[in-house]
Structures are given as structure tokens and as C-alpha cells.
Amino acid sequence: MAEEGSIFAPVRGNLAGVIALTVLSAAGSVIPFIAIVELARTLLPSMDGAPVDAGRIWAIVAVAVIALIVSFGAAFLSGLVGHFADATLQHSLRRRIVGHLQRLPLGWFDQRSSGAARKLVENDVVALHQLVAHSIQDVLTAIMVPLISLAYLFIVNWRMALAALVPLVLIFLLYPLLMRGADEKYQQYDAATHALSNATVEFVQGITVVKRFGQTGRSHRRYRDATAEYSKFVGEWTRETAVLFTIIELLASPIVVLAWLLTAAMWLVASGGAAPVDVLPGILLGLGLTAPLMKLGASGQFLRTAGKARQSLAAFFALPPTAQPDVPQTPKVHSVGFRDASFSYDGEHRVLHEVTLSCAPGTVTALVGTSGSGKSTLAKLVPRFYDVDAGAVEIGGVDVRQIASGKLYQQVGFVFQDVQLLRASLRDNIRLTRPDATDAEVENAARAAQIHERILRFDRGYDAVIGDDANLSGGEAQRVTIARALLADAPVLVLDEATAFADPDSEAAIQQALSTLAADRTVLVIAHRLHTIVAADQILVLDGGRIIERGTHPELVASGGRFAKMWADYQANHARSLPEGTGA
């Protein structure tokens, strides 16, 4: 709860001002109606010959005019302050989110798509707009206007006050029936909306392929199914709530409320319970009791979305950042070591079990194993995507947890299959790891990564923007990330073999770029295509989170163990001559 409260800390004073101005506006909006009643109570007796109190009439008119001006002015200022508060809050939250993102472990990003960060920075922050800029006013108005009106009515004519309460009581009794099972329905609604959104994006992104290859029927199927499911759900929910919703709408409608109040007023007058002038307040003010509540009900979906966004942001800010050392250390050499390292994602089911290994400076260590053996997890412990539960991961004999994050990323570079490029120029994408790099250094890195010639074929060359005037294949995008790693010039390199899904033409260029990148560095490579690691200094075979074999390629093949079988199967499935000298 404290974390949720801190979300609004930067605008707490503004929100207090919004509350005060809204209360003033609500009170001012009721006073003109009370003034009309008081004018009638003053003027109607004069029709029977009684003298008119002109001073009282002008005083009432003056109060009504002043109240109207104050009400409009307070409402305007409330909206203005609310929107300024909203702008301040959005700016503050975005800065805070970005700052917290910078401190989170890289594993948080590894487990989520870029859409998760975008949802926080964009969707969740924007969802609070309704809460800050509008909902406070709506809620307070919906509460204050009926309270002030009813208080006045009970003072002047308690019978009409009770009559005015009848529609409100009926609405409050029926609304819980209307909202029965709403939590489950809203979850289903969110799921249906999410499925429809994903299907729509998939369809739009693939429409070029659809037109080119004529697979319209098949490609449309998911979109059609999602649309049908969404329409079916909304239709069923609408039919289930239609009767009660219609009844509530009728009870709150001005015509029905007026008819009820007129009936009650005529009965009171006819029975001698009140004079005609005494029922006027109930008719005028009673009409204004239900409208604010219905406006509040109409914004319920916005309020629910804002509430979920607040919970999402609070949960995000509660995530623990990467722990930083009190006394940072800097490794003097660039060996990599694992000492009895164990790790689990959930704290219960271990993925790695007491792994011990050593990678000498300037050597290539390859990790092989079946899917789920733990090789990717092991490699990602070096740049602290995650921290070990037991044991240690070291660079130059220094525990990576004792190296400041900024210094660690200067020591460790990594290139994974999941290519991440920004919607920025190719030059800025390569320069991402070294913003101060010169244009010549950027081009040299691109040449070494075998992507320079491709970049020059764009009309704007290195200034071409990814996604606008620069569209790259998967292999080309991978070479841009390799150029980025070359420019960073980190002495330790972690590679998730970038050619695993590359086409033959791209594979040769990527392999040449990787050979350049790996030169004179301590390399830990996750190998999928075994012919790329025949010259590795050591090969580690993982199974179930444990190293079950280690050695050079000739040694492991000669031993006839797990790797030898993997190599035989690989040769049978990929009959080709092995490229000479490939080591990374």
C-alpha cells in the first residue's frame, strides 16, 4: 500500500487542490437550484397581495449568480489543475520507470517481450490519466451533489426528500445484481480483447505475405476466430445484463424521475401534507440526484483500467533491482570461472547444479547439450542476467556481484539469437554501446561484421532508420548487433550461436564476423551447429544442469560418450565438409 501511495506522491498537493475545488464546484452547482426555490417561496405569496421583499429577492439572485460563477470557475480550475497534475505525474512516472528499468536484472527483460516495458511506460501511465484528470471530479461530484441536495430537502420538506431518495435506493439495490460475477466477466473480457488484439496485429503484419503467396483463407482464420469469440462473449454478456441495465437506466432517466416526483408532490398537496410551494424543492433538486451517479457508472471501465494500471505499476516498482556492491572491484585479468554455481528461476527447482569450470583468457569454451540442459542459463550468469543461488561466477577471480554493473558491461559483451535493434539510424544502433565512437570507428566495426556493404546500399547509408528506410533480414540484423559488440570491445564475450536459424548465404558472413569478434577474447559460446566449434579450446556437454563431459573436440569424439553420439547424429543429419578453422 505504501508503494501504491508513493505513485501519486509527486502530485499529492495538486490532488488536494483538485478535491477542494471540486467540492466547491459541487456545492456551487446546487445553490442556484436552491435559489430558484427560495425565489418561488418569496414571490408566490405576492400573488395573493402580500408585499414583495425586493431586498431578499436581489440578495437571492446575487447569491445564485455568485454561486454559478464560483461553480464554473472552480470546475474549470479543478480540471486545469487535474490535467497539470496528470502531465506532472506522467512525466514523473516515466522517468521513474526508466530509472527502475535500468536497475533491474537483465533476466527481467529476457523473460518478457518489449511489449511488457512498453505497457508500463505507455499504457499503464496513460491509463492513470482518467483517474487523475477526471475521476476525482466525477466521484466527488456524484457524492457531494446528492448529499447537499438531500440535506437541504430534509430541512425544507422531509417527505419530498424521502420521495427523492426512492429512485436512488432502487438503483443501489439493483446495481449489485447487475454486477454479479463481474470480476470473472472482466477477466474474460480482458482475455478476449487481448486475443483479438494479438490476432489483429499478426494479420496486419503478415498481410504482405498473404497477398504475395495467396494464403488468404488460412491466414485469416485466427483473426476470424478471435473476432467471432469476442463478438460471442460481448453478445452473451449484453443479453445477460440487458434487462437489469434497462431497468436501472429507466429509474435514473429524468422523465421517469420527474413523473415520480410529480406524482409524490400531487399526493402530498392533495392530502394536505404540503403546500404547492413546499414541494417545489423536491421536484427541482430531486431531478439532479441520479444524473451524477449514472455518469460515474458510465466511467466504471475507465476506473477499472486505471486501478489495474496502478496495481501493475506498484508491483513493478516493488521488483528488487540488481544488487550493487558496497566496495566495487575491477578484475585485472579476463578469465571466466564458475565455482560450485547453482541456480533456480523460482527458488525451488534447480536448473544448474554445482557447476565448476574455468575459461582461460583468450580461449573459446563451447557449451553443448539438448534443449533444457541449462547451457543458455549458464551463459547468462556471466553478464548477471541472473545471480546464482549458491557458489559464484567470477571474472578474473572477482565475483561478478562485486563488480559495478556499468563496469561489468564494459568487461562482458554478448550476442544472442534474439536480435534487438532500435527504431533509430543504423549508425546509432551500432554506436549504442559506445555513444562517443567516431563515424570511422562505426564503419570499421561494420566492415569487420560484414555489414558495411549492405548498409551502403540504402539511400541514406548509415543514416537510414531501422523500420523506416532500412529493412534488414534476420542475418543482416544479426551482423549489426555483432558490429555493436565489436565497437564495445569487451574482453569477455558470451555468444548464443547466431547462425542457428540463418540461411546459408548469411551463415558464412556471420561466421566470418564472429571469428573476427572472438579473436583475442575470452569466449563462452552456446553451440547449436556442432561444426562451428570443432576448434574450440574446450567443449562442455551439459545434461540436467550438470557438466557430464568436457574436453576438446578430438578428445570427446575419441571417448565415445554423449558428445561422440551427438557428433555422429549431427554428421548423419548434416552431411557436409567442415569449414576449416571455425572456433566460435
Kindly report the backbone phi and psi dihedral angles of residue 280, in degrees, each rounded to the nearest multiple of 5, phi listed first.
Answer: -60, -45
Output Rg (C-alpha) for the chain, integer angstroms: 35
Other beta carbons less than 10 A from residue 192's beta carbon: 19
Q: How far apart are CA 494 and CA 544, in angstroms?
A: 21
452-457 LR contacts (CB < 8 Å, sep 24+): 454/479, 455/426
DSSP-derived 3-state class of residue 317: helix
Residue 546 C-alpha cell reads as 550438470
Kindly report the backbone phi and psi dihedral angles of residue 325, in degrees, each rounded to the nearest multiple of 5, phi listed first.
Answer: -70, 145
Q: How far apart are CA 524 and CA 94, in angstroms?
A: 36
Range list for CATH 1.20.1560.10 in the chain = 1-157+293-321
Q: Residue 583's closest CA among 492, 542, 504, 522?
A: 522
- Helical segments of 206-286, H only: 207-213, 216-252, 254-270, 276-286
Kindly report the backbone phi and psi dihedral angles of residue 465, in degrees, each rounded to the nearest multiple of 5, phi listed first.
Answer: -100, 130
Do 426 and 466 meet the contact criterion of CB atoms below 8 Å apart?
Answer: yes
Residues in the chain predicted with pLDDT less than 70, given as ranges, are: 1-5, 45-50, 112-116, 198, 201-220, 297-299, 497-511, 513-514, 517, 574-584
Q: How far apart are CA 257 and CA 148, in angstroms?
A: 18
> For residue 121, how far is the Cα from the chain centroid?
6
268-271 LR contacts (CB < 8 Å, sep 24+): 268/159, 268/160
Determine the pLDDT at residue 465: 92
Beta bridge partners of 566: none
Query: Under 8 Å CB-to-CB from 161, ≥6 apart: which residues?
Result: 150, 153, 154, 282
Do 495 and 524 meet the contact criterion of CB atoms below 8 Å apart?
Answer: yes
Do 225 and 200 meet the contact criterion of CB atoms below 8 Å apart?
Answer: no
Beta bridge partners of 398: 395
* Global confidence as pTM: 0.70
Kindly report the backbone phi and psi dihedral angles of residue 387, in degrees, each rounded to the nearest multiple of 5, phi listed first.
Answer: -110, 145
- Helical segments of 395-450, H only: 405-411, 426-430, 439-448
Residue 544 C-alpha cell reads as 540436467
Determine the pLDDT at residue 582: 41
Amino acid at 514: L
Determine the pLDDT at residue 577: 44
DSSP-derived 3-state class of residue 474: helix
Q: How far apart are CA 521 and CA 501, in angstroms?
A: 25
Q: How far apart are CA 248 and CA 143, in angstroms?
A: 18
Do 343 and 352 meet the contact criterion of CB atoms below 8 Å apart?
Answer: yes
Is domain 336-573 classified as CATH 3.40.50.300?
Answer: yes
DSSP-derived 3-state class of residue 424: coil
Q: How far apart are CA 69 and CA 29, in angstroms?
A: 9
Q: Cell numbers 483538485 label which residue?
A: 18
Other beta carbons less than 10 A from residue 212's beta carbon: 8
> Counting beta carbons within 10 angstroms of the beta carbon of residue 527, is it exposed (0 to 12), middle (13 to 18) or buried (19 or more)?
buried
Query: Pairing state of beta strands 390-395 and 398-399?
Result: antiparallel
Beta bridge partners of 526: 367, 496
- The CATH classification number of 1-157+293-321 equals 1.20.1560.10
Q: How far is CA 140 from CA 25, 252, 293, 297, 437, in A?
A: 10, 19, 10, 13, 56
Range list for CATH 3.40.50.300 in the chain = 336-573
Query: Under 8 Å CB-to-CB from 125, ≥6 apart: which residues?
Result: 90, 93, 94, 97, 309, 313
Beta bridge partners of 378: none
> Counting beta carbons within 10 angstroms of the beta carbon of residue 43, is it exposed (0 to 12), middle (13 to 18) or buried (19 or more)?
middle
> For residue 118, how far is the Cα from the chain centroid?
5
Q: Residue 414's closest CA among 511, 525, 532, 545?
A: 525
> Counting beta carbons within 10 angstroms of the beta carbon of residue 490, is it exposed (0 to 12), middle (13 to 18) or buried (19 or more)?
buried
Give a three-class secondary structure readout of 549-581. Answer: EEECHHHHHHHCCHHHHHHHHHHHHCCCCCCCC
Determine the pLDDT at residue 580: 44
Q: Cell numbers 399526493 label which residue?
A: 267
Q: Cell numbers 561466421 label which residue?
A: 511
Sheet bearing 398-399, strands edge to edge: 350-359, 336-344, 390-395, 398-399
